[in-house]
Structure 1
Amino acid sequence: MSDQTLRGGRGVARSDAASTDLYRAVWRWHFYAGLLVLPFLIVLSITGGLYLFKDEIDGIVHADLKRVEVRDPSNRVAPSSMVAAALVAHPGKAVKYTDPITSTASAEVTIKTTSGQNLAVYVNPYGGQVLGSLPDRGTVMWTVRYLHSLKYFGTVTRAFVEIAAGWSILLVGTGIYLWWPRRQSGGVLSIRSTPNRRVFWRDTHAVTGIFVGFFIVFLAITGLPWSNVWGGKVNEWANGHNFGYPAGVRVAVPMSDEHLGHVSPTTWSLEQAQVPETARHAHGAEPIGLDRAIAIFDGLGLHRGYTVAIPTSATGVYSASVYPDDVAQQRVVHLNQYSGKPLIDMSYADYGPLGRWLEFGISVHMGQQFGLANQLFLVAVCVAVVVLGVSAGTMWWKRRPTGSLGIPPAPADKRVLRGLLVILIMGGILFPLVGASLLVMLTLDWALTERTRSVA
């Protein structure tokens, strides 16, 4: 045998060893990412899948409050009369009025009661009868939304949603590498064997993952704007200066210290937008009143179902905001409460490029932008994520040695980790909470590796 043949054989062996080590490294971190992320992704998929049909489900569960019988339009009562009826039933101060979005929908009056609680009171617009009330944001789908964001469990727990979103991107990236065809005839786009064999669950996991991986990344990125740390910082940067309004909106009106997110439903892009102040345009001028304000908003062509924040002080404004399924029809208008003059009128077209992109992504994320097709497609993605979690758990259970966690073996040559670690660190810098969790995982991985060596 010649020296050249020997050198060629050693080169192939080194290449195979390096390939094996890289595969082990990627597999090991894919396992860690799945261990950390999949339980959260399953919860997010179930709650998110339900929230896609928020209007439909709320309409059924709260039909006695939200649905009314269509009558002669001439029987409709003025908004101020509906507010008055709500205040008779629940004394306090009216702070918001929500226009019925359809002819079969009730109006909603938000009242700050004498006990300090915000109450949503539902009123029949055809006769002014009070249908009932719920705590503000007290519908069943608001409960699902808070479960989806883990809001019920405090700030620290909510941070795990941000961590899960960042790690899910890593999970998809490493999953694509592990899926990549390596001379196998099945498990790429087809599923082999039967459910009693591990290869069935491996193929189910791999094939499902390759079809929905892109959409998992999309949902992670479009969900991150609502996160505490990353979302909050990006929101500040995206809104720029100029009182937090999107680029292109320049107004010379006095501004209050109140933010739009505190007084009315709003989008992510406008959470930090400050609300303008109003001033009497003449000595002794009287406010125009809610009915006149509603007439002005209708004349400006706002989409039905808009919410009006009612001024509660002499310098307050009537603020109407609406965020329908079509993001192009999002709009916020502030009126001088004495003259009725629009102080600020902005829409989706006024958002900066990042704001428009994120708002469109959020609308798709929530199943709104493309109607029923959007909802059904995302339900399929949510089901696929649950399948990924179940198949991963089953596959691990069938593979793991007795009495062991079954962590994939560490690479023999640690140098193969360098490139992977660079990618992980870059992701950690971009997403701070993911970076912090990465340090914890690296420490645990090092400890496990050292423990394995000492036992061996």
Structure 2
Amino acid sequence: MTTTAPTPTTSAPPRRSFAWRGLFLRLHFYAGVLVGPFILVAALTGVLYALTPQLESWVYSDQLRVPVSSQQLPLAKQVDAALATSPEGTLVAVRPAPEPGDTTRVLFSEKGLGESERRAVFVDPGTGRVTGDLVVYGSSGSLPLRMTLSQLHRNLMLGEPGRIYSELAASWLWVVALGGLVLWITRARNSKRIRTHGLLGVWVLVGALFLSATGLTWSAYAGENVATLRKALDWTTPSLKVPTGGGDHSEHGEHSSTGTSYGDVDTVLWAARSSGIDAKPLEIGLPAESGGAWKVAEIGRGWPTQVDSVAIQDGAVVSSVNFADYPLAAKLTRWGIDAHMGVLFGWVNQLVLLLLGGGLVALVVLGYRMWWKRRPTRGFGRPTPRGQWRKAPRGALIGLGLGALLVGWFVPLLGISLVVFLVVDAVLGRRAKAA
């Protein structure tokens, strides 16, 4: 009795829309394994930084808060009180108390301080009592705790070499996030199964892209390219023209250690308020030399953003820059940076960053858990075989390669680390084949 051999069955060819899936899976998997630690550290330190406004208010309450007084001393008298403590350095600026119960900050430049650091002497505006002095950092006036957490997030307290870690995290975060989105979409179409890792990745996708883009704007290498591009497209932030010299102010009051008068500080503040500088938090910068112009700048980073500034000379406004006149790209940059720092929308902004940072931490932990459970030593074999690029259409593959070259040039650490990964992977592949 003869039997008819069964007709061999062939599986349907993969749909063209899924031809890239293996390549994306391999890239997402290995990028996650290699860059995951950097993203994890950046997320954890970012969460800590987002909590600093409340932490600062608690830790430095003695310096920041005083009993509310019905009357305030003139700013010049408050500067006198700060100078009476004989601080080292040069008087450079004054930040009047923004709210009742807050202290005034009298700022000094000082030898031995780092870049963008100044010494702040805190003065009770009602009594002139000095409540302490601390080193502050940057235009935000960060106190030591926030400054430490900022440097931890930025460079792990390792200086410029440490910035490589945060730039690597920002450079790869958008790649991992978009690759994960492709995998989630294709998995949902094929199997109708949505894993916790993938679903969580979709929820934090927009935030991850935002953190990646804003983080790269002030990174060491990609940040330079971003600045060059903004300048070429005229997207830079307008700068205030502050005249120097041109007058003798010796009759207006006492002077700082550079000979610059600070006795006019109250008159300058009145002139600035009259010209439309109405934000409560502001900084009054003393002239760089006798007879030069004062700079009064709003430093409100919340919503609505208040960062107008004016230059005042001989009691009159000689130049000004208004946020309303910024180019749209400059406004978006300002808002992006402030939202990244958690100050744009107050506690709501902080809450979003806490949830986003927690989501990124969970994604990294879940990703490593998935890898650990399916690691090759448990008999699952290589999770994604080499050669996935051969399955993609050639024309599209060429376009992808050109795009990778362009992005790798604009984001150097992404390009360099991608080349290193490809070289190492090729070497390991040759060894495996030879074995």
TM more than 0.5 = yes
Residue 193 of structure 2 is matched in structure 1 by: 186
Measured against aligned partners, the alpha-carbon deviations of 1:151-192 in whole angstroms (never above 9, x if no partner) come to 6312232133223212111101110121121432432xxxxx
Residue 234 of structure 1 is matched in structure 2 by: 226
Question: Secondary structure at the residue paired with 1:227?
Answer: coil
Residue 140 of structure 2 is matched in structure 1 by: none
Q: Number of residue pairs matched?
A: 402
Aligned partner (choices 319, 325, 329) of residue 354 of structure 1: 329
Is it true that 1:89 corresponds to 2:88 in the alignment?
A: no
Is this contact kept in 2: 1:168–1:216, CA < 8 A? Answer: yes
Offset of 1:230 from its aligned partner?
A: 2.3
Offset of 1:360 from its aligned partner?
A: 1.9
Is this contact kept in 1: 2:244–2:289, CA < 8 A? Answer: no
Check 1:84–1:352 CA distance in 2 against 1; reply closer, same or farther (3 A cut): same
> Which amino acid letter does the alignment assign opposite residue 363 of structure 1?
D
Is it true that 1:269 corresponds to 2:237 in the alignment?
A: yes
> Which amino acid letter does the alignment assign opposite residue 162 of structure 2?
T
Tell me, in whole angstroms, the C-alpha distance in 1 between the residues paired with 2:266 and 2:166: 43
> Which amino acid letter does the alignment assign opposite residue 308 of structure 2?
R
Residue 57 of structure 2 is matched in structure 1 by: 59
> Which amino acid letter does the alignment assign opposite residue 237 of structure 2?
S
Offset of 1:116 from its aligned partner?
A: 6.8
Residue 303 of structure 2 is matched in structure 1 by: 326
Residue 127 of structure 2 is matched in structure 1 by: 127
Measured against aligned partners, the alpha-carbon deviations of 1:290-317 in whole angstroms (never above 9, x if no partner) come to 2211222232333011112212412543
Deviates more, 1:36-45 or 1:99-108: 36-45
Tell me, in whole angstroms, the C-alpha distance in 2 between the residues paired with 1:230 and 1:327: 29
Is it true that 1:33 corresponds to 2:34 in the alignment?
A: no
Check 1:88–1:376 CA distance in 2 against 1; reply closer, same or farther (3 A cut): same
Check 1:406–1:81 CA distance in 2 against 1; reply closer, same or farther (3 A cut): farther
Is this contact kept in 1: 2:38–2:168, CA < 8 A? Answer: no
Aligned partner (choices 163, 167, 172) of residue 158 of structure 1: 163
Tell me, in whole angstroms, the C-alpha distance in 2 between the residues paired with 1:404 and 1:314: 77
Is this contact kept in 1: 2:245–2:293, CA < 8 A? Answer: no
Is this contact kept in 2: 1:112–1:119, CA < 8 A? Answer: yes
Is it true that 1:98 corresponds to 2:95 in the alignment?
A: yes
Residue 202 of structure 2 is matched in structure 1 by: 210
Tell me, in whole angstroms, the C-alpha distance in 1 between the residues paired with 2:417 and 2:380: 20
Question: Secondary structure at the residue paired with 2:41?
Answer: helix
Check 1:51–1:404 CA distance in 2 against 1; reply closer, same or farther (3 A cut): farther
Is this contact kept in 2: 1:83–1:94, CA < 8 A? Answer: no
Residue 424 of structure 1 is matched in structure 2 by: 404
Is this contact kept in 2: 1:109–1:121, CA < 8 A? Answer: yes
Is this contact kept in 1: 2:97–2:104, CA < 8 A? Answer: yes
Tell me, in whole angstroms, the C-alpha distance in 1 between the residues paired with 2:206 and 2:80: 51
Tell me, in whole angstroms, the C-alpha distance in 1 between the residues paired with 2:48 and 2:175: 26
Is this contact kept in 2: 1:363–1:369, CA < 8 A? Answer: yes
Aligned partner (choices 31, 47, 64) of residue 45 of structure 2: 47
> Which amino acid letter does the alignment assign opposite residue 126 of structure 1?
G
Tell me, in whole angstroms, the C-alpha distance in 1 between the residues paired with 2:146 and 2:418: 34
Is this contact kept in 2: 1:62–1:139, CA < 8 A? Answer: no
Is this contact kept in 2: 1:165–1:221, CA < 8 A? Answer: yes
Where does 1:306-345 land on structure 2 (aligned, <5 Å)? 306-314=282-290, 316-324=292-300, 325-336=302-313, 339-345=314-320
Tell me, in whole angstroms, the C-alpha distance in 2 between the residues paired with 1:405 and 1:64: 60
Question: Secondary structure at the residue paired with 2:310?
Answer: strand
Aligned partner (choices 129, 141, 145) of residue 146 of structure 2: 141
> Which amino acid letter does the alignment assign opposite residue 25 of structure 1?
L
Stretches of structure 1 that go unaligned for 5 or more consecutive residues are 188-202, 248-267
Offset of 1:285 from its aligned partner?
A: 7.2
Check 1:441–1:131 CA distance in 2 against 1; reply closer, same or farther (3 A cut): same
Is this contact kept in 2: 1:100–1:107, CA < 8 A? Answer: yes
Is this contact kept in 1: 2:240–2:309, CA < 8 A? Answer: no
> Which amino acid letter does the alignment assign opposite residue 81 of structure 1?
K
Tell me, in whole angstroms, the C-alpha distance in 1 between the residues paired with 2:112 and 2:360: 44
Kindly report the root-mean-square deviation, in angstroms, between the aligned alpha carbons of the 2 structures: 3.0
Tell me, in whole angstroms, the C-alpha distance in 1 between the residues paired with 2:427 and 2:17: 25
Aligned partner (choices 370, 378, 381) of residue 353 of structure 2: 378
Residue 256 of structure 2 is matched in structure 1 by: none
Question: Secondary structure at the residue paired with 1:136?
Answer: strand
Residue 293 of structure 1 is matched in structure 2 by: 268
Offset of 1:386 from its aligned partner?
A: 0.7
Measured against aligned partners, the alpha-carbon deviations of 1:367-390 in whole angstroms (never above 9, x if no partner) come to 233333222122111111110011
Question: Secondary structure at the residue paired with 1:110?
Answer: strand
> Which amino acid letter does the alignment assign opposite residue 452 of structure 1?
A
Tell me, in whole angstroms, the C-alpha distance in 2 between the residues paired with 1:186 and 1:171: 20
Deviates more, 1:392-401 or 1:324-333: 324-333
Offset of 1:423 from its aligned partner?
A: 4.3
Check 1:278–1:151 CA distance in 2 against 1; reply closer, same or farther (3 A cut): farther
Aligned partner (choices 410, 418, 424) of residue 438 of structure 1: 418
Is this contact kept in 1: 2:237–2:330, CA < 8 A? Answer: yes
Stretches of structure 2 that go unaligned for 5 or more consecutive residues are 1-6, 138-142, 253-260
Is this contact kept in 2: 1:97–1:309, CA < 8 A? Answer: yes
If the length of structure 1 is used for normalisation, what is the TM-score? Answer: 0.79
Offset of 1:108 from its aligned partner?
A: 0.9
Is this contact kept in 2: 1:90–1:113, CA < 8 A? Answer: no
Identity of aligned residues (%): 28
Is it true that 1:15 corresponds to 2:14 in the alignment?
A: yes
Residue 265 of structure 1 is matched in structure 2 by: none
